[in-house]
Structure 1
Amino acid sequence: MTDEHGDPGPPLDVPVTMFEDVEDLKAAVARLTAQVEALTKVEGQKPGEASAEVEETAGEDAVEAADEGDQEWQYPPLILLLDSPAYDDELRALTEWVEGVLVPGYLAEPSADARWCHLWFEHTPAVARLHALWLAWQECTDPVSCGYTGPSVWHRDHLDPCMRELRGPIGPFAGCTKREHGVVHRMPVLVPSAWRQDGA
């Protein structure tokens, strides 16, 4: 190989198989390009042209997106921000999940180091944390949105930290034991208006 001045450059030690690999890659790219063109080709339409139907659908999607942008921003689904009967309905669904999935599947026998209260729904902080855990479970067990790693992410990022907070020595169940309760259980009251953006 010579440079622009005609001087030979350093010898290149390129294996012959590399040239074969490059040719194989070129052939593979050509095959894939042909497949893409065949799959996207519409009869009587040049490659790269969008059909009128596709353009019309894209226009409708843009209008829908603009309409959604005009709508009022929705609060995150924090259960403590709900009023009755929405709160009651959400708590009922949460209770089914806690008692049907979480307790039998994940909670060992309560102990001094890992407390649990069978009246968990009367502890406002527990309701809030368990509701958030349940929402994360719904999302992370949906293969469409999270694929195969969703359950692992749910265990690592949601279940374990939540259980540490709830069942720890200073968690909401700190005064609760199997035989007696060190706290007066009470149903959660309405959320203070300061929590709401609209001040209502």
Structure 2
Amino acid sequence: MADEPDEVPHLDVPVGMFEDIEDLKSQLAGLTALVEARTRGDSAEPGETSADEEEPAGGEAEVEDEWQYPPFILLLDPPQYDDELRGLIEWVEGVLVPGYLGEPSADAKWCHRWFEHSVAIARLHAAWLAGQELTDPASCGYTGPSVWHRDHLDPALRQLRGAAGPFAGCTEGEHQVTHRLPSLVPSAWTHEDGA
């Protein structure tokens, strides 16, 4: 056979590279479809098809995962709030506290009743959601955990445990939730005359 080369070159391709490329293609196709839908003014959510779109030639509609926005825990009502908080508590007490938190100190406070501080709930929940996404190699590659630590966990812990954080007034024997509530700030739109 004259068309085949005498030697086949050996290419060193990292394991998993083709899967990563296919994942990127899939993500790009999904984002492209979303951008096209939004620029057309479609009211359909991502993952839904409008009535104008045709089925693929095979006769079967393409099945896609429906896009779900992560819940912001402070906006949830019971029982969704309770379920989400229960999962967060399991993660904080089972992973975060034993794995990431050292002994509390004056420079790095921690409140054993953190779940009574709404700021702590919001920040830890956001870090937990990001961790769920960024620790899955199938969706974000192998650098996801590093990105999660750098961009989500470390800043959240700095904010929570810092001198101005929600635990600043808490000590080992005393828990204070109200110390972080701001006083009423006068509106810039209303001015009371001193007369």
Shorter-normalised TM-score: what interval? Answer: 0.5 to 0.7
Letter in 2 for 1:149: T
Name the SS of the counterpart of 1:60 in structure 2: coil
- Which structure: larger Rg? 1
Letter in 2 for 1:171: G
Structure 1 counterpart of 2:77, from 65, 78, 83: 83
Instruction: Give the superposition deviation at 1:182.
Output: 3.9
Aligned residue number for residue 15 of structure 1: none
Identity across matched positions, percent? 71
TM-score normalized by structure 1? Answer: 0.57
Structure 2 counterpart of 1:129, from 123, 136, 140: 123
Letter in 1 for 2:107: D
Instruction: Give the superposition deviation at 1:76.
Output: 3.9
Name the SS of the counterpart of 1:83 in structure 2: coil
Please list the CA deviations of residues 7-47 of structure 1 after superposition, one character each: whole Å capped at 9, or x if unmatched: xxxxxxxxxxxxxxxxx9xx86xxxxxxxxxxxxxxxxxxx
The reply to whether residue 102 of structure 1 matches residue 96 of structure 2 is yes
Separation in structure 2 between the aligned mates of residue 151 and residue 183 of structure 1, nearest angstrom = 32
Letter in 2 for 1:81: L
Moved beyond 3 Å, runs of 4+: 73-76, 182-185
Separation in structure 2 between the aligned mates of residue 145 and residue 183 of structure 1, nearest angstrom = 38
Instruction: Give the superposition deviation at 1:184.
Output: 4.7
The reply to whether residue 164 of structure 1 matches residue 164 of structure 2 is no
Structure 2 gap ranges (5+): 10-55, 180-195
Separation in structure 2 between the aligned mates of residue 102 and residue 55 of structure 1, nearest angstrom = 50
TM-score normalized by structure 2? Answer: 0.59
Name the SS of the counterpart of 2:142 in structure 1: helix
| Structural mapping, 1:11-160, within 5 Å | 55-56=57-58, 60-61=61-62, 76-160=70-154
Instruction: Give the superposition deviation at 1:77.
Output: 1.3
Letter in 2 for 1:164: R
Comparing both chains, which one has the higher relative contact order based on Cα–Cα distances under 8 Å and sequence gaps of 6 or more? 1
- On the 8 A contact 2:134/2:144 being kept in 1, the answer is yes
Name the SS of the counterpart of 2:141 in structure 1: helix
Q: How many residues align?
A: 129
Structure 1 gap ranges (5+): 1-23, 29-53, 186-200
